[in-house]
Amino acid sequence: MLKILTVFTVLILGMACKETLKSPPTDEGKITPPLSDSKDPSATKPHYAQSKKFIIASKKQVNDSRQFCIKSLKKMPNRISKANIKKVCAQVSLERSCYSKNKQPIFHYDKKGISSRGKKILALSLIHGDEHGSGTITSSWMNRLDGLKPRNTWRVLPVINPDGWDKSTRVNANGVDINRNFPSKDWEDLAYNWWRDKKKSDPRRYPGPKASSESETNCLLKHINNFKPDFIISIHTPLGLLDFDGPKVRAPSTLPLPWQKLGNFPGSLGRYMWKDHRVPVLTIELKGSRGIAKLEEFDRLQDISGTVAIRAGKLLNKNRTKN
């Protein structure tokens, strides 16, 4: 079975490479930037929090982060060869302040698109340290992108919460749920009360003492400011579905997981990026080991995300015209 999956994956990647280089643009290559409702003109040019300068770390720090990348990708349950792990990790970089509380680097992988019409896609995983399977997908995508010339420009952060990953905890080393720590406009009014009243002070969902209090949160905010993504893919486990924070769009016809809208919460990435800044966020919720067994299906989500973004952009543009 493993040999069959391996052959199938190679065929998929070969077709994807051929499609990327020779065929007319596909939906994935046509991602349109999100347009804002004219009632909220600030959304056309987002003014994100924590807009400090993005500075690449020293040569030694970058080299150390590449060694950490090798260690991290080897730790993940994936089928990437040791040679390919070294090759991909040799290309990762590090923003100077992107370290966890325990001083572990939060590295990133960039792949520039070849099309002048290409858009920017930010993909991330392991924002919750106990969701181990999520890193399998981003590492697979990094490996896949290394062999392609994509139309769109990608930035991948496979390990947002390295301290939580070490301890297999949802929260970081400070006991904060990073995905409730983003500075959404309603954070001060709702985040703490929502955690206390709705979640009964569940320590797994503690939003922190204040918005963007955590180094991991601020690292991702710096990436958002610097990269200015048109579309974000956030990978989690274990619900087994695709959750979209964006305008009401028709789901693509072929999906590896069911399409279900869960909504977002104060301080979450979806609330901060979509509700406050009109940048759509597609959350991939893996279910058990299924995502690991069928990686080729999740590779296709790199293309499916383009379809979702195009439909979202059309709806937002239509609403803007009406208003």
Q: Phi/psi at 143 (nearest 5 deg)?
A: -65, -40
Residue 133 has a pLDDT of: 87
CA dist 297 and 228 (Å) reads 27
The residues spanned by each domain of the chain are: 2-322
Angle at 303 between CA 218 and CA 170, to 5 degrees: 35
At residue 26 the predicted structure's pLDDT band, cuts being 50, 70 and 90, is: very low
Of the pLDDT bands very low, low, confident and very high (cuts 50, 70, 90), residue 250 is: confident
pLDDT greater at residue 180 or residue 79: 180
More confident residue, 4 or 156: 156
Backbone angles phi, psi at 181, to 5 degrees: -110, 0
What are all long-range contacts of 310-313, with beta carbons under 8 Å and residues at least 24 apart?
310/27, 310/30, 310/31, 310/32, 311/249, 311/250, 312/34, 312/246, 312/247, 312/249, 312/280, 313/31, 313/32, 313/33, 313/34, 313/35
Report the distance separating Cα 267 and Cα 283, nearest Å: 15
The CATH superfamily label for domain 2-322 reads: Zn peptidases (3.40.630.10)
| 120 alpha carbon, distance to own chain's centre | 12
Mean pLDDT, rounded, for 307-316: 68
Report which DSSP code applies to 136.
H
Write down how long the chain is.
323
The model carries a pTM of: 0.82
Average pLDDT on 217-245 reads 93
| Residue 182 pLDDT | 98
Determine the pLDDT at residue 45.
Answer: 44
Neighbouring C-alpha atoms within 13 Å toward the C-beta of 291: 31
At residue 34 the predicted structure's pLDDT band, cuts being 50, 70 and 90, is: very low
Confidence of residue 292 (pLDDT cuts 50, 70, 90): low
137 CB contacts (<8 Å, ≥6 apart)? 125, 235, 284, 286, 291, 295, 298
